[in-house]
């Protein structure tokens, strides 16, 4: 059994990587085409840093979702079903206690997922804004220095980084709170 897993696991990863590369390419090209079809006035309202950040982040999210996450999800669901079947066959009473709390776990993980998504979006927006400021300043560094605006621009950039840091701390706190879900496991071992 162990030898089969050592053979199947790399195959699963290779297939997931291939599918990931095929699926990610098309949305990336379509996004680039859509950006290039915009009027010139549209580019005045958009910051270059935000566009680049959006493209790279969206591509990264698709890659992560299709590649390792999809194969991990498949493995986890298979392991869950197999674990429940084996647990019921070994000790059905204890398994029943553990299964009674499954709806609570599903709700908790759903809430956890919503919070992570919310904080990730806020964090990306803050970093994108900071990146846009840095791009603007570096593109016009001579003008900024000529007018003595270094301190002002540094403060503007720092404010955006503090926003990102604040959101990151909230996200990490929520992530730590999500770990409390696993305290449920202790109830499974009470007899």
Please give the Cα distance from 99 to 85 (Å, whole number): 12
Task: Give the containing element (helix H, strand E) for 108.
Answer: helix 102-139
Rounded average pLDDT over 122-135: 87
Q: Please enumerate, as own/partner, the contacts of 169-172 that have beta carbons within 8 Å and a separation of 24 or more.
A: 170/119, 171/115, 171/116, 171/119, 171/120, 171/123
List the structure tokens of 50.
């935000």
Query: Would you say 94 and 188 are in contact if contact means Cβ atoms under 8 Å apart?
Result: yes
Q: What is the pLDDT of residue 67?
A: 66
pLDDT at residue number 124: 86
- pLDDT of 46 reads 77
Contact indicator for 53, 124 with CB cutoff of 8 Å? yes
What would the pLDDT profile of 157-172 be if each residue is shown by its tens digit? 999 889 989 998 998 8
Least confident of 55-59, 73-77, 129-133: 55-59
- Report the chain's C-alpha Rg in angstroms: 24
Q: Minimal CA–CA distance to 112: which of 191, 164, 180, 165?
A: 180
Please state the rounded mean pLDDT for residues 5-11: 66
Q: For residues 133-138, give the mean pLDDT.
A: 87
Across 27-48, average pLDDT: 77
Question: pLDDT value at position 118?
Answer: 92
- Provide the percentage of residues in the chain whose pLDDT is more than 70: 85
Instruction: For 51-62, write each residue's pLDDT tens digit.
Output: 777 777 777 777
For residue 3, the tally of other CB atoms under 10 A from its CB is 7
| Separation CA 119–CA 51 (nearest Å) | 20
What pLDDT score does 152 carry? 92
**pLDDT of the residue at 85:** 92
Query: Pick the residue with more confidence: 28 or 82?
Result: 82
Q: What is the pLDDT of residue 35?
A: 79
């Amino acid at each position: 059994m162990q030898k089969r897993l050592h053979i199947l696991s790399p195959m699963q990863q290779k297939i997931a990587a291939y599918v990931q590369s095929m699926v990610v390419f098309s949305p990336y090209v379509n996004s680039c085409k859509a950006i290039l079809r915009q009027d010139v006035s549209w580019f005045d309202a958009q910051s270059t840093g935000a566009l680049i950040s959006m493209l790279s982040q969206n591509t990264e999210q698709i890659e992560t979702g299709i590649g390792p996450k999809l194969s991990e999800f498949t493995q986890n669901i298979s392991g869950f079903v197999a674990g429940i079947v084996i647990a019921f066959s070994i000790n059905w009473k204890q398994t029943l206690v553990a299964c009674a709390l499954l709806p609570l776990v599903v709700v908790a993980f759903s809430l956890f997922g919503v919070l992570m998504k919310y904080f990730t979006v806020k964090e990306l927006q803050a970093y994108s804004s900071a990146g846009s400021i840095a791009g603007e300043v570096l593109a016009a560094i001579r003008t900024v220095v000529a007018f003595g605006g270094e301190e002002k621009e540094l403060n503007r950039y720092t404010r955006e980084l503090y926003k990102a840091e604040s959101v990151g701390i909230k996200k990490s706190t929520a992530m730590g709170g999500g770990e409390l879900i696993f305290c449920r496991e202790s109830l499974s071992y009470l007899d």
